[in-house]
Structure 1
Amino acid sequence: MKIKHIIPLVCLLSGTTACKKFLDTKPLDVLAPANYYTTEDHLRYGLAGVYDILGKAPLYAYTMTVKLATEADEGYYMRATQINGPQLYNFTSSDPEILNLWTTLYQGISRANALLENVNKPVMDETVRGHIKGEALFLRAYYYFLLVSNFGDVPLILNTVSSVLGNDVARSPAAEVYEQITKDMKEAEQLVQTASQAAIGGRISKSAVRGILARVYLYWAGYPLMNTAKYKDARDWAKKVIDDAESAHRLNPSFSQVFVNYAQDKYDMKESIWEVEFSAKGNTRELGQIGSWIGITSTNAAIGTAYGFIGVTDRLYRSYEPGDIRRDRAIANFSYTATGTKTFHAATVPGYNRTVGKWRREEELVNPKPNQSTPQNLALLRYSDVLLMFAEADNEVNGAPSQAAIDAVNMVRRRGWSTGIKTITVLSGGSGYTSAPTVTFNGGNGSGAAATATVAGGQVTAIVLNPDAVTGTAMGEGYTTAPTITITGGGGSGATAAATIYTTADADIPALDKAGFLKLIQAERSRELCFEGMRKYDLIRWNIFVPTLKEVASEFTADAPANLKYGALSFNNVQSRNELFPIPITELGLNKLLVQNPGW
């Protein structure tokens, strides 16, 4: 990093108000740490500046979820006129999105370094000082984790830059960067609060540190470093989260509610362990594009206007099994009209013309809704991810899935499984029907099922569940036995029908060997965590990135509607060089010790 990338220290760390107060008496071009960090409040302001990086545009406001193709085989950039950019694997080392990512991450590291160098200055409660230090250490390590994941070997800078001279820094090998990341995170884990003490998902807790450590070790164990001994570390850190009796993490009973909570500023740290916080309240407005740039397209202000830049691949849509109600929450089974009503897609329509449904503007509580921007939070670590990481690492360590690993996967799948109506069979069509009769479901200990009958020739010929925006069809939930179907009205009589139901036991996985279990995990992570910014990196660490995306290109060419075949472009463009981003050309010019990544 060159000194020109370091903005004045106090402005960088203390926020706008504190900056104005300082600049009333100090010049703009002076780095003056001796005049700052003298109180506990200064440290808190400084820590807020380190956190602030997460919500910046080059990171999670939109770039990481929309512009960097992190959805990999799950989605595509749904704009026919766009032919270049990282989202299409067609760009150069001068691309501004890549430069912004690099410089913003190093800006966060610089802020953390300055805080850590001065954390012992104020007279204050030592426990609180430890919390601040731990959070800063973790965030510095996390920013390095994003750098090494995206760029490979990177300069490892652990002190503030104080001079314009001598700032050429060579790239440290990725293994050394991982060593520093895990060193910092382990120290942080001893200092930060527990999840129950932190109380809000936006703050680093022991559970967040442990879960991200599991992710770091999984990346280190996989391609390209292939340090397979690290699978044990990944398993052990995930297990610490699972075994934490005080924090008592668990899955939210409703997969859909997880994302409603992000829209409505509700915390559920049992499931959502760490998240990036956005807000539209008072003077603390910091908005992102979650639910807008990645979400369901809308031109209706009451629903909330949204671009919906990311379309869904049919591969992802087809990967969900019957009974898996996660599909129609993750992938919207409807589109909005200009008036805000829902037009449902036919079940036979391929996934290509659907958009991401996890984050929905209609669920936001803030009114009036900001145009194209949202206050919706974004998960960086959910408990379901921890369970799946544990299962994957445990399988690698043991050479076969243990019962604990199987149970972890089944827990995730069962949470996303229906307990509603599976099938409806017309037993007798009756006679004399002049209009569709009313269909009701009674008993079975469940509720919520709704269906419509079709009449032809005076008989009931079919009964079909009504469309539902969350679970696909209004199959209801909670049924332990098949309910009785009653058919009334319509001018006729004698029609009868019978139902079958789904059970959560249907979700349980079959017996598998090591390879089969890994293949299931690879699919299950996509079904559970799609569009949450991890798929590209998962495919890379499994060393199946390029061949997987080439398969999607072929599927697009063969199966996509004619007006959406342009979606194959990004998958056709991808090359092995896209496993890493290029070092920005600007940085190569500033730092003479940097060398470019292969293929760029």
Structure 2
Amino acid sequence: MKNILKNTPMKPVNTLLFRLACMALPLAALMTSCDEKELLNPVPNIALQDAYIFDTPARVLGQVNGLYGAMKIGGLYGGRYLMLADIRGEEFINRTQNVFTGYDAWSHTVTSGSNDASSAWGTSYTAINSANLLIDGLPKHPDVVDAATAAQYIAEAKFVRAFCYFGLITRYAQPYVKDKGASPGIPLRLQGESTPANNDLARSTVAEVYGQILKDLDDAEASLPANYSTALLNTTRAHKNTAVALKTRVYLTMGDYAKTVTEAKKIVSDAAPFSAPAGVKHQLQANITTVFFTDYTTAESIFSMPMTALNLVSGQNSLAYEYNLNLEYNLNPTGILGEPTWPATDVRKSAFTRVAGGLTYLKKYNQTNPTTDYVPLLRYSEVLLNYAEALAKTGDLAKSAELLKAVRTRSDAAYVFPAADIATADALVKTIWTERRIEFLGEGLRSNDLLRNLLTIPAKGSGGLSAPSIAPSQPEYIFPIPNAELSTNKLI
């Protein structure tokens, strides 16, 4: 993968330039192979003319590697996207008022000109255009790789495109459940662009974007491999179960609980201990600290952004820097940290938090020099809790509670849920929501969990800094489309 992860203050960038710049992403990694050594320690960047992009299998594979490199950029899934998604919620208290480390997102003061509005927009469309270029170009060069390999590569590109569109639609558009997707969404770009000719594009509806996401994921599932040859590749490249896992998130966000159950059943066994019956044998790791501190490629880690000392995200985009090194945010004592059903005996509290100067900080990302923690984007515990919530919503309370308990007792074996917390569908769903706040603290899921349930974003504050609550009816509930897009796309 290309190392494009330099730490610089985020500035609004013309979206067209991002889309044009994406041409360099696959080119920069054209000569990389996909073995572990070169995935983690990429070769120096090179550039080739467009005519040679599809010349050899190595160059095509380089484009595939470049797709993941485009996702891994610090402004996107290398760190910042997750950080902004979490700090919008109630779990963190800002300490610095630094606009380059998410203060606008935390305080709900994001405008079209804010860094926080532009960071994910431009980088997401860069990755999407990289995927589009591969999807468009590979069929035009049918003799470079065999048909099965070509189908796999296109499937990987569709997975990347779906992942990035899901990140965009859940940040910059109204929740699907508000009106079944009738609200304006985002521009749905489905062809590769190398000129500004097609820069003007109207917004598709939320429903249309979700429809494309699900189509891409269905196509990806059909053509992705069941697994790869190593645990590293199973964690850092998309396979069949990766696509299925993401579909459980998408359908849950849409409020389609029956389809969430259908997808989850593909990768969750009928009985405990829960595991994927086919493909990569995903399951919960016995000790959650292993997933974050010891081995980033266990069967629990479905999809992650890999980091090494030579290819990492550092500084203001790094999760370890924000939460555990520079201490930009402490945990809110009245947020999940103060939840009475999260006892000190839970390893997620004892191992993933630390106290300094009387404040509690998240140390789930523990590698601070260098910042080499992998960034988890999909874990098996999420699939189990997605499944549990969908089952509770569709009436299977017993199975739902069983899945919930599997996640909780993995980290606190002695814990017993109070009967009232799991006795009814409503109580069980709320208990699952609380468990999600504990399990995925600092992993970028909180904002979407609030918005997909049309919940008010709670107020928070401490030490003179405060942020108001934001109701679903307020414009601040979603991010505005950035000025760079508004100024270059006449149809938006």
TM-score (norm 1): 0.68
Q: Does 1:328 pair with 2:362?
A: no
Q: Does 1:588 pair with 2:486?
A: yes
1:307–1:110 Cα change, 3 Å: same
Structural mapping, 1:156-305, within 5 Å: 156-195=188-227, 197=229, 199-200=231-232, 201-221=235-255, 230-243=256-269, 244-246=276-278, 247-261=280-294, 266-268=296-298, 270-281=299-310, 284=311, 287=314, 290=318, 292-296=320-324
CA distance in 1, matches of 2:75, 2:240: 26
Higher alpha-carbon deviation: 146-155 or 58-67: 58-67
Is the 1:292–1:308 Cα contact (8 Å) retained in structure 2? Answer: no
CA distance in 2, matches of 1:386, 1:285: 27
Question: How many residues in Structure 1 have an aligned counterpart in Structure 2?
Answer: 438
Structural mapping, 1:107-506, within 5 Å: 107-120=126-139, 121=141, 122-152=143-173, 153-195=185-227, 197=229, 199-200=231-232, 201-221=235-255, 230-243=256-269, 244-246=276-278, 247-261=280-294, 266-268=296-298, 270-281=299-310, 284=311, 287=314, 290=318, 292-296=320-324, 306-314=325-333, 315-319=335-339, 320-322=341-343, 323-332=345-354, 334-335=355-356, 353-361=359-367, 369-370=369-370, 374-398=371-395, 401-418=396-413, 503=414
Post-superposition CA distance 1:298-323 (Å, at most 9, x none): xxxxxxxx212221111211214334
Q: 1:13 aligns with which of 15, 26, 33?
A: 26
Q: Read off the aligned partner of 2:364 and give its amino acid letter.
A: K
Shift of 1:90: 1.5
Give 1 or 2: higher strand fraction. Answer: 1
Q: Secondary structure at the match of 1:295?
A: helix
Is the 1:14–1:48 Cα contact (8 Å) retained in structure 2? Answer: no
1:49–1:17 Cα change, 3 Å: closer
Q: Does 1:545 pair with 2:443?
A: no
Aligned-residue CA RMSD in angstroms?
2.7
Is the 1:256–1:329 Cα contact (8 Å) retained in structure 2? Answer: yes
Shift of 1:241: 1.4
Q: Secondary structure at the match of 1:105?
A: helix
Higher alpha-carbon deviation: 247-256 or 136-145: 247-256
1:392–1:17 Cα change, 3 Å: closer
CA distance in 2, matches of 1:2, 1:510: 47
Post-superposition CA distance 1:443-462 (Å, at most 9, x none): xxxxxxxxxxxxxxxxxxxx
Equivalent residue number for residue 91 of structure 2: 74
Q: Does 1:94 pair with 2:113?
A: yes
1:312–1:290 Cα change, 3 Å: same
Equivalent residue number for residue 445 of structure 2: 534
Q: Secondary structure at the match of 2:327?
A: coil
CA distance in 2, matches of 1:110, 1:165: 14
Q: Read off the aligned partner of 2:25 and give its amino acid letter.
A: L
1:511–1:105 Cα change, 3 Å: closer
CA distance in 2, matches of 1:202, 1:22: 24
Shift of 1:53: 2.0
Shift of 1:100: 2.7
Q: Secondary structure at the match of 1:119?
A: helix
Shift of 1:49: 1.5
Q: 2:467 aligns with which of 570, 573, 577?
A: 570
Shift of 1:146: 0.7
CA distance in 2, matches of 1:157, 1:198: 33
Equivalent residue number for residue 472 of structure 1: none
1:231–1:198 Cα change, 3 Å: farther
Q: Read off the aligned partner of 1:234 and give its amino acid letter.
A: T
Unaligned ranges ≥5, structure 2: 1-13, 32-43, 174-184, 270-275
Equivalent residue number for residue 469 of structure 1: none
Equivalent residue number for residue 77 of structure 2: 60
Structural mapping, 1:554-565, within 5 Å: 556=461, 564-565=462-463
CA distance in 2, matches of 1:411, 1:20: 45
CA distance in 2, matches of 1:248, 1:565: 47
Q: With CA pairs under 8 Å and 6+ residues apart, which has the higher RCO, 1 or 2? A: 2
Shift of 1:4: 3.8
Higher alpha-carbon deviation: 122-131 or 505-514: 505-514
1:511–1:219 Cα change, 3 Å: closer
Q: Read off the aligned partner of 1:183 and give its amino acid letter.
A: K
Q: Read off the aligned partner of 2:81 and give its amino acid letter.
A: M
CA distance in 2, matches of 1:155, 1:137: 17
1:35–1:509 Cα change, 3 Å: farther
Q: Read off the aligned partner of 1:143 and give its amino acid letter.
A: C
Shift of 1:16: 6.0
Percent pairwise identity: 25
Larger Rg: 1
Shift of 1:135: 0.8
Higher alpha-carbon deviation: 169-178 or 185-194: 185-194
Is the 2:54–2:144 Cα contact (8 Å) retained in structure 1? Answer: no
Q: Read off the aligned partner of 2:338 and give its amino acid letter.
A: R
Shift of 1:255: 2.0
CA distance in 2, matches of 1:95, 1:111: 25
Unaligned ranges ≥5, structure 1: 27-31, 222-229, 297-305, 336-342, 346-352, 363-368, 419-502, 557-563, 595-600
Is the 2:30–2:63 Cα contact (8 Å) retained in structure 1? Answer: no
Shift of 1:68: 5.0
Q: Read off the aligned partner of 2:350 and give its amino acid letter.
A: D
Q: Secondary structure at the match of 1:273?
A: strand
Q: Read off the aligned partner of 1:386 and give its amino acid letter.
A: V
